[in-house]
Amino acid sequence: MPPDKRQDLPDAVAALFPGVAQRVHVDQWLGGELQRASMRIQAGPVAPTVDMTAFRAELDAFTFERPRPLEEMLRWTIERMEQGIVQMTNPRYFGLFNPGPSFPAQCADRIAGVFNPQLASSASSPVPVELERHVVRAIARRAALPEDAAGHFATGGSESNYTALLCALTRAHSGFACDGARAFAGPVRIYTSRDCHIAWLKAAHQAGVGRTALRLVATDGRGRMDPQALRSAIALDRGNGAVPVMVVATAGTTGAGMIDPLHACADIARDERLWYHIDAAWGGAALASNRLRKVLDGIERADSITIDAHKWLATTMGCAIFITRHAHLLSEAFHASTSFMPSSVAGVDPYLNSVQWSRRFLGLRLFLALASAGWEGLGAHVERSVEVVERVKERLVGLGWTVANESALAVLDVVPPLELGPVRELVRRVVTSGQAWVAPTAFEGRDVVRICATNGETTLEDVDTLVAALNQRA
Ligand SMILES: Cc1ncc(COP(=O)(O)O)c(C=O)c1O
């Protein structure tokens, strides 16, 4: 094309790529608005207040025929978010493992969004890939895994656990990579406790071994996998011609924060020559605390582990870590070959080591949190949550509630006194009041109220508000 013709290119679409001055202006304005919204959220109701009929009608008006000003849309989005979600950043959210995210993690998201690095390949993103490897190694060291342990960041515990299953299957039979479940001499079996996170069923489904591959082993009456029941289940399956491949211990069960007997499970996996995975999606954060990490004693014996940074390590959503002591198996399970990728280094390039191909810069969230708080700061965050739950426990026990679980971590399962009525109705009252958020669940056959400290800024006043809401009669 002749040089003068280049000027004929249309301008960049200004609504999508505004000028620098406009971006700086919007950024500053947005930063202030978000902080003000955060303060309102902290003081406001935890439960959504949105009228969904009205919201759907409002959405119907978005036919996308007429562009609207970005600032108007940003203001609208913040308002709707303030009304339209359970507020994880509210310090009275004592809910599932979703954290109020740390500020360094939020900054990491902003940076990743601006640079938008492609972490599939080390040639495209040498610095981010190396930085993530560094963080993974630091976590592996903290878990006392061998120096050559390897891993990567994943979108969540489910992806990470699925990765573990693919590694286990790949090691169990050299034909699995090509022939899938057909390679095995009988139906595959995976063992975990009945209190596991039930996404394991999806992992079995995705891996092509079928949901019936999952054996849910009995617990010991205290929410932990019963090692004797595990041994018996494996023996029974072998006797019936099935092929056991993997034992999964949970370190921090979703319902009750219980830790399966990690050494006993490791012994059984070793004796039976099975892959040993520890799902420490939530509880793995205890590694950050010098005081609490001993509850994870035995984690160093795992073939692989899952830790979700987006749970107790308080990163923004979609940030897990998978680590294995068998680095070569990642390359075996996820290898691929193509000429268009900028680099193809086995053991280094994330697209050759993991489920994902294109990938976001997830590890920066944990790197910035760790770098700015240190292990000491991250440990103090974890220990603080345990303390919050201790305070809730003291107050509730004083008011006649019964503790159902004996977790050393930050989940409390409690049974209300009879006069407060059934658990599910009580939880509904608390949640609809907007004052606090807790969940109903079942623990060892009993309905319980599950209370988890997830927010790093919860105060004693918040604890008092929770306790008062829980004790409110119908
Ligand atoms: C023990 C455990 N494993 C796995 C998961 C699934 O993790 P994710 O929701 O990050 O996929 C959870 C989620 O709560 C969990 O508690």
258, 308, 319: residue to mutate for ligand 1 pocket, most atoms within 8 A of CB: 308
- For a mutational test of ligand 1's pocket, the pick from 96, 200, 250, 254, i.e. the residue with the most ligand atoms closer than 8 A to its C-beta, is 254
The candidate with the shortest Cα–Cα distance to 409, out of 245, 275, 266, 296, is 296
Which numbered atom of ligand 1 lies nearest the CA of 318? 10
Displacement of CA 229 from its chain's centroid (Å):
28
The series of mean pLDDT values per 10 residues for the chain, 474 residues long, is 68 96 97 97 95 97 96 97 97 96 98 97 96 98 97 98 98 96 97 96 97 98 98 98 98 98 98 98 98 98 98 98 97 88 86 95 98 98 98 98 97 97 97 96 97 97 98 90
Cα distances from 354 to residues 113, 328, 383, 397, in angstroms, run 22, 12, 32, 46
Nearest CA to ligand 1 atom 6: 157
Task: Give the model's pLDDT for residue 4.
Answer: 57
- C-alpha of residue 157 to centroid of ligand 1, in Å: 5
Tokens of 73: 């849309």
Q: Are the CB atoms for 414 and 427 separated by under 8 Å?
A: no
**CA of residue 449 to ligand 1 center, whole Å:** 19
Q: Which atom of ligand 1 is nearest to the CA of 320?
A: 10
d(CA 313, ligand 1 centre) in Å: 13
User: What's residue 345's pLDDT?
Assistant: 84
Ligand 1 atom nearest to 158, measured from its CA: 11
What residues flank ligand 1, with Cβ below 6 Å?
Answer: 97, 156-158, 161, 197, 199, 250, 254, 279, 281-282, 308, 320
Please give the pLDDT value at position 212.
Answer: 97
**Strand arrangement of the beta sheet that strand 214-217 belongs to:** 150-154, 320-324, 304-308, 275-279, 243-250, 188-193, 214-217
Predicted local confidence at residue 342, as pLDDT: 84
Alpha carbons 409 and 412: distance in angstroms, whole number: 8
- Distance, CA 225 to ligand 1 centroid (Å)? 17
pTM for the full predicted model: 0.96
Q: How far is the CA of 206 from the centre of ligand 1 (A)?
A: 16
Q: How far is the CA of 252 from the centre of ligand 1 (A)?
A: 10
Query: Which ligand 1 atom minimizes the distance to the CA of 250?
Result: 1
Residue 307 CA to ligand 1 centre (angstroms) = 9
Atom of ligand 1 at shortest range from CA of 283: 1
411 neighbors 450 (Cβ within 8 angstroms): yes
Q: How high is the pLDDT of residue 344?
A: 83
Q: Whose CA is nearest to atom 7 of ligand 1?
A: 157
Query: How is residue 132 written in tokens?
Result: 């993530």
Q: Whose CA is nearest to atom 16 of ligand 1?
A: 254
Tell which one of 158, 159, 165 to mutate to probe ligand 1, the residue whose CB is within 8 A of the most ligand atoms: 158
Residue-wise over 163-198: b if at least 16 C-beta within 10 A, else e? bbbbbbbbbbbeebeeeebebbeeebbbbbbebbbe
Please tell me the distance between residue 10's alpha carbon and the centre of ligand 1 in angstroms: 48
